[in-house]
Amino acid sequence: MGANNGKQSGSEGKGSSSISSDLSSSTDQTSTKAPKNAATSEDSDLSMRTLSTPSPALILPPHLHPLSPLLPPSAPFNSSSSTSSSETVAMVHATSPPPLFSATHSRRRTTRDHHQGASVPIDLLPDHIFLDVFARLPTNQLCRCARVCRRWYNLAWDPRLWRSIRLAGDVLHVDRALRVLTRRLCQDTPNVCLMLETLVASGCRRLTDRGLLTVAQCCPELRRLEVAGCYNVSNDAVFEVVSRCPNLEHLDVSGCSKVTCISLTREVSLKLSPMHGQQISIRYLDMTDCLALEDEGLHTIAAHCTQLTHLYLRRCMRLTDEGLRYLVIYCPAVRELSVSDCRYVSDFGLREIAKLEGRLRYLSVAHCGKITDVGVRYVAKYCSRLRYLNARGCEGLTDHGLEYLAKSCPKLKSLDIGKCPLVSDAGLELLALNCFNLKRLSLKSCESITGRGLQVVAANCFDLQLLNVQDCDAPLDALRFVKRHCKRCVIEHTNPAFF
């Protein structure tokens, strides 16, 4: 449709679109030849970009080039350009929306569709149906639809469709894509994009501080930002985002090894009065694999992000019990906390976490080798409303720790005590007799667990949905007993005789 439209409008007005920069390679070997009016300089069409439609090639990696089906099929494929332009991005800038179909062309197409058996042409669908379809498209496909015709252009840039932007791809020029998209979205409100609330660019390794600074300067209403795995992002860009986007509530910087803290910029901190405070509205923060995070950084985060309810610090291996002390002092509303693989966290750290009391619902201390029954006893005593506990690999945990959990946390629904060799059937029986609501239980590599303990669990926990007994001494009769009493339970095992 887009190709016919472009061909039809060729005689109506020249320069309807121009290509600046090189075209990325395409796997379907369609044409990459630029039109005759292609601009040779990026600055030559700078004034036209604010009225342009960002090319889908800004969003898709080169091997998924979305423009290739819209190019003339007669143009030859240039194999040399596919290698030399692998580091470039196709940027097609339209000086105006695609023109409408002529009446003659519409009648011819309607007649052709009628002979082919098409009952209702797509052009007859009302706008709200188009908007509903466009709302389900990813960002790159939405940009592609905007280049079909004038009507689709106007619908595709409806502000209601741009509350979120989702980008993906290792080779994507994310900084450039964000610059062009935000410039187009700021067309009606210069320099300010009021509709964008969610930006997801996880896995876009070419995202840098420059791209995030663009978002921080143009999108003050941003509420959710996910840049997991973008290892080129540093503290400076994160500080700008949290300082300029006061409504930001969800931040995922997992895998961003250069991020060591979350705080306001110095300029913003100086402007705030002591009565106003220096707080950030973030409630969800994921800093998994931020390996450079230390206790001082966690102290700063806790002091600024006092509204935190979900905090994930998996594999932040420089954290100690002191950092957890700061966290509990400043962030008393934490409901979910993960310090898995933080090897310096010990029973003293769990004593501090226990001060969260009944607000704590989720706790993961997997592979924290210094944790024993003493720390588990603190948590069980004061956090009686705990629903989820992951203590996998805590080799100091014994049946006494399970006894504390069973008697103090009767609403426990999920428990992982895999690779805890000191846990036996005795502790498992106490757990089964008190925690009737248990739905997920992992006993992987618990060498002391036998069929007797499994049968007690099955006889009391009827709602059990997942049981992991891999690398356990689980006889065939016990597995069949579990399956018979817990009909919805999925059993993960290593017994070849059970199926």
Separation of alpha carbons 431 and 437, rounded Å = 11
193: confidence class by pLDDT, cuts 50, 70, 90: confident
pLDDT given for residue 269 in this prediction: 59
Confidence of residue 82 (pLDDT cuts 50, 70, 90): very low
* Measured distance CA(213)–CA(487) in Å, rounded: 53
Indicate whether 400 belongs to any domain: no
Single-letter residue type at 498: F
What gap in Å lies between CA 33 and CA 44, rounded to an integer? 20
Is residue 22 pLDDT above 80, yes or no? no
**Residue 137 covered by a domain:** yes
Q: Give the ranges where 191-346 is alpha helix by DSSP (H).
A: 209-218, 235-244, 266-271, 295-304, 321-330
Q: Among 86, 184, 96, which Cα is nearest to 142's?
A: 184
**What span, in angstroms and rounded, lies between the C-alpha atoms of 24 and 169?**
14
Q: Which of 7-11, 69-73, 286-290 has the highest mean pLDDT?
A: 286-290
Question: Burial code of 343-371, b = ≥16 C-beta within 10 A, e = fewer?
Answer: ebbbbbbbbbbbbbeeebbbbbbbbbebb
Query: For residues 179 and 89, is the Cβ–Cβ distance under 8 A?
Result: no
Which residue range is the domain that position 152 belongs to? 125-161
Side chain identity, residue 23: L
pLDDT at 62 > cutoff 90: no
Among 219, 196, 183, 195, which residue's Cα sits nearest to residue 52? 183
Q: What is the mean pLDDT of the chain?
A: 79
Output the pLDDT for position 278. Answer: 54
Tokens at residue 382, please? 């004061």
For residue range 146-184, what is the model confidence (pLDDT) as tens digits? 888 888 999 999 888 999 999 988 888 999 999 989 988
Residue 311 within any structural domain of the chain: no
Angle (nearest 5°) at CA 342 between 338 and 344: 130
Does any domain span residue 355? no
Q: What is the mean pLDDT of residues 239-265?
A: 93
Q: What dihedral angle (degrees, nearest 10) is formed by the CA atoms of 207, 148, 94, 51?
A: -80
Provide the number of structural domains found in the chain: 1
CATH of the domain at 145: 1.20.1280
Residue 157 inside a domain? The answer is yes
Q: How many helices (H) and strands (E) does the chain have?
A: 19, 15
pLDDT tier at 378 (50, 70, 90 boundaries)?
very high
Which are the contacts of 372, defined by CB distance < 8 A and separation ≥ 6?
347, 394, 396, 397, 401
Q: DSSP secondary-structure letter at 370?
A: B
CA-based R_g, the chain, Å: 29
Which amino acid type is present at position 316?
Answer: C
If one counts every other C-beta atom within 10 angstroms of the C-beta of residue 42, the result is 11
Among residues 339, 375, 379, which one has the least CA distance to residue 359?
A: 379
User: Is residue 54 over pLDDT 70?
Assistant: no
Assess contact for 181 and 54: CB atoms under 8 A. yes
pLDDT of residue 148: 87
Contact (Cβ atoms closer than 8 angstroms) between residue 308 and residue 283: yes
Strand (E) positions, 9-141? 17-20, 91-94
Tell me the pairing of strands 414-416 and 388-390. parallel
Q: What is the pLDDT of residue 199?
A: 94
pLDDT band at 190 (very low <50, low <70, confident <90, very high): confident
Q: Which residues pair with 225 in a beta bridge?
A: 199, 251
Q: What is the pLDDT of residues 442-491, one digit of tens each?
A: 999 999 999 999 999 999 999 999 999 999 988 999 999 999 999 999 99
pLDDT in tens, 95-135: 345 554 444 444 445 445 444 544 447 888 888 999 999 99
Please give the Cα distance from 207 to 168 (Å, whole number). 10
- The pLDDT of residue 25 is 31
| 130 neighbors 157 (Cβ within 8 angstroms) | no
Other Cβ atoms within 10 Å of 165 Cβ, number: 23
Among the residue ranges 68-72, 134-138, 480-484, the one predicted with the least confidence is 68-72
Between CA 46 and CA 52 the distance in angstroms is 10
Q: How far apart are CA 286 and CA 228, in angstroms?
A: 9
Q: Tokens at residue 433, please?
A: 């007799």
Q: State yes or no: pLDDT of 364 exceeds 90.
A: yes
